[in-house]
Structure 1
Amino acid sequence: MKLYLDPGHGGTDPGGQGNGLIEKDIVLDIAQRVLSILTVDYEEVEVRMSRTSDISKSLNQRTNEANSWGADYYLSIHCNAFNGSARGYEDYIYSGLSDSSTTSHYRNIMHEEIMDMNQLPDRDRNKANFHVLRETAMSALLTENGFIDNDQDARLISDPPWRQRVAKAHVNGLERAFGLKRKQISGTLYKIIAGSFQSRENAEKRVAELESQGIEAFIIPFSAPNAQWFRVQAGAFASRENAEMHLEQVRNAGVEDAFIITEGSDTDNEESGGYSIAGKTYLSPELMDQYVKGINSGAPELGHYYLELGEYYGIRGDIAFAQAMHETDFFQFTATVQPEQNNFAGIGATGPDNHGANFDSPWEGVLAHIQHLYAYAVTAPLPEGYPRTDPRFDLVERGSAPAWVDLNGKWAVPGDQYGQSILDLYGRMIGESISTLQQIEENIGE
């Protein structure tokens, strides 16, 4: 599948502006995240971007490039702006197409997947006579991801983890619409990191330097505590030996500080689809709390509870912490459950009329969360020592979800990407923790 990915505007055309945000920068960041997810996680997908930096490019240049390349799909990513009061998500296909067209079918899938994750009001599926929709030879979609001049939308848009979710939602839509196949990776994956930069421009220079010497590389944006970073990845290998050989090539190309990071562990349960719920907690409480406070400075410090109780029950406390961030919008509680409930897992919450269970303290809320995961992950009796606080423990089919992806359709309905979203967030937390530790080591060295 050949995707032409078009972050709108750029260069002398800033697009919409508001709340200290500029559309051209936001949509480039989302598009880069889409590119990195597709490149890392999917097979047989070619992506060409209309721009990978802040340059000017005409609409004719974009559509002519997509047409001459023979793209299968044209995806244009934008944010909206109007009068400060409008908010929400909407998308567009060409006005000359019928609702029964293939383009409309693709759009319906994309709309569903994006709305499932973006936390925005639904402004519906629309049609327009936009150039990039009219002049493309392939099916084309333009997405408008919130209103940059609206205070509520801007709070989301300015949040890097939200942009990651929106990027993942776009990829989920592409996967469904075009039947994309995920890469089958078992055991440990070895990734070559060729630099981490706080300046996107510097990251782009590193990519250009590597590609000029025949080494493919791409940028993975991620948010370290209180800062936005851009990591350059130059390959991923299932074999440590192959990774080390490629690392030598990257270093010979002038990146002497390139290094290998590993992804995956012995606790992976391949038969059940990936990371198991039962297992050792790897991240420290300090790193867990530091990560979430970089996004929400008012977040409670719960890392020590997730470590302590996770280890007692043999549950991955660090991934459970990522699940709690996913459920509570980084402990901002923007959905049904309220902060005073101490219900960090959304236990029993089904909608506006049912806010779910209440717990007397944060410790009790974490205990209930870990016990609920224990019920799903294993069939053994609940260990003695702590009171049973999970009110729905006996309602779970014991051992029905040994891996995080097995929670799809169980913990969240329909939630067919629920477990993947949690692991996605955990991966970002791991990546930023590595960056934090590297900075600490550098400071010690100085």
Structure 2
Amino acid sequence: MKLYLDPGHGGSDPGAQGNGLREKDIVLDIALRIRSILVNHYENVEVRMSRTSDISKSLAERTNEANTWNADYFLSIHANAFNGTARGYEDYIHSSLSDSSTTAQYRDHMHAEITKVNQLPNRGKKKANFHVLRETTMPALLTENGFIDNPEDAALMKDSTWRQQVAQGHVNGLANAFNLQRKPNDSVTYKVIAGSFTSRENAEKRVAYLNSRNIESFISTTTVSGETRYRVQAGAFSSRENAEKRLQEVKNAGIEDAFILSDNNSTQDDQGQVQSGYSIVGQTFQSPEQMDQYVKEINPNAIKLGYYYLTFGDYYGIRGDVAFAQAIHETNFFRFTGVVQPSQNNFAGIGATDSDNPGASFATPRDGVLAHIQHLFAYASTEPLPDKYPLVDPRFNLVNRGSATTWTALNGKWAVPGDNYGQLILEIYDRMIQSTIAKLENIREELEES
């Protein structure tokens, strides 16, 4: 597949501006990430970009290049602006095309995957007479990734993790639309992070302490919500099991806020796609307050469910906090922008297929979470269901018991085709962990400075 990738604007044309950001910078960063993921992790993909730096380029030059190159797809990345109050994601194909056209079908894949992960209100699929859609001889799509003049959208744009997630959403859509195949032996590294600090001095103190306990570590830098953080890394492993052993050593040394970060070796540091086969069965690490606080940062009106995910997760031996991340993915941060409605209390999309079949309904939020955990238990275990609570999952007995013991094994089972379903859940979980760690470190540093 030959992709012509077009970061909008550039050079003397900054594009939309707002909240200290310029569209040309944001979209270039996202496009470069798209190219990196595709080239490093997918077979038989060629990517040509209209620009890879801050240069001026006319619209005609862009479409002429794509046409001369005989690209299979033209993808133009943009950000929006209006009056400071508008929010959300939307995408465009040319106004002359029908909803059944090949271009529209490709767009359906793109739209579905991008809106799963971008944390933005979905403004829908649209059509327009834009030059890059009209003058291209191949299917073309223009995506508008949030409103740069809106404070909420801009806060997301400033976060490198969000930009990576948006890039991954575009790649997931391309992979589905063009049936792209991942490269064999696409390896994963599990990093043990023993602290994340805004102060390099505090990070150096942590390294010295770990070294005194015969645990080698070093400092790496990353950006979280536009802020430079100094991470103390205490090892990197190709095996999750070995990483968990090191994690326990670090915690035994008194570092309770250590965590594992899953990172694909070929992507940028601390921004890789999660490929972990992390077990569904296991301990819940996040507290109810931490889970609820994370989701309310994105959706202040989200229902509080952390207590139920911890309680039922612990009882059934299911990782309740990862299940909570799955619920976030299924409901778009409990905004219910898909076919399932809030009144159904169906946080896992159990039985939902389309607007004609929105799936199961549960009497209370508590029952909805219980059904979710029971459904995971059915996939992850062949043991009889413990009988403390009644069976409320209507599809428990339809599951091939024990057929998915890891989150990535849910791909193609819980969601169809769902090639990256488990990976997306784990990416949300990693972001939730990172958010918690950042808050804990900020509190610790405030106490040390007071």
Q: Structure 1 length normalisation: TM-score?
A: 0.65
Deviation at 1:369, TM superposition (A): 0.8
Identity percentage of aligned residues: 49
Q: 1:133 to 1:393 in 2, by over 3 A?
A: same
Q: Which residue of 2 aligns with 1:343?
A: 346
Deviation at 1:133, TM superposition (A): 7.3
Q: Within 5 Å, give how 1:278-289 maps onto structure 2.
A: 278-289=281-292
Q: Which residue of 1 aligns with 2:109?
A: 113
Q: Within 5 Å, give how 1:6-405 maps onto structure 2.
A: 6-10=6-10, 12-16=12-16, 23-24=23-24, 26-28=26-28, 30-31=30-31, 33-34=33-34, 37=37, 55=54, 57-59=56-58, 75-79=75-79, 88-91=90-93, 111-117=107-113, 118=115, 119-123=122-126, 129-130=131-132, 143-145=142-144, 148=147, 159=156, 165-175=165-175, 177=178, 179=180, 181-182=182-183, 184=185, 189-190=190-191, 227-229=225-227, 238=237, 262-263=261-262, 274-405=277-408
Q: 1:435 to 1:71 in 2, by over 3 A?
A: farther
Structure 2: distance between partners of 1:342 and 1:304: 15
Q: Which residue of 2 aligns with 1:427?
A: 430
Q: C-alpha deviations, 1:94-128, integer Å up to 9, x for none? A: x9xxxxxxxx98x778534312222452336x886
Residue identity matched to 2:126: R
Q: Is the 8 A contact 2:283 2:318 kept in 1?
A: yes
Q: Which residue of 2 aligns with 1:417?
A: 420
Residue identity matched to 1:181: R
Q: Which residue of 2 aligns with 1:441?
A: 444
Structure 1: distance between partners of 2:231 and 2:60: 28
Structure 1: distance between partners of 2:319 and 2:87: 42
Q: 1:294 to 1:436 in 2, by over 3 A?
A: same
Deviation at 1:439, TM superposition (A): 2.1
Q: 1:413 to 1:142 in 2, by over 3 A?
A: closer
Deviation at 1:445, TM superposition (A): 2.5
Structure 1: distance between partners of 2:429 and 2:277: 13
Residue identity matched to 2:424: S
Q: C-alpha deviations, 1:33-56, integer Å up to 9, x for none? A: 536755886689898977788x55
Q: 1:139 to 1:122 in 2, by over 3 A?
A: closer
Residue identity matched to 2:30: I
Specify the SS of the correspondent of 1:181. Answer: coil
Is there any run of 5+ residues in structure 1 with no aligned partner, and where?
96-103, 198-217, 241-258, 265-271
Q: Which residue of 1 aligns with 2:272?
A: none
Q: Is the 8 A contact 1:133 1:142 kept in 2?
A: no
Q: 1:352 to 1:56 in 2, by over 3 A?
A: same
Deviation at 1:311, TM superposition (A): 1.6
- Between Structure 1 and Structure 2, how many residues are aligned? 379
Deviation at 1:89, TM superposition (A): 1.2
Q: C-alpha deviations, 1:119-165, integer Å up to 9, x for none? A: 452336x886549977xxx98955223674999xx977875687655
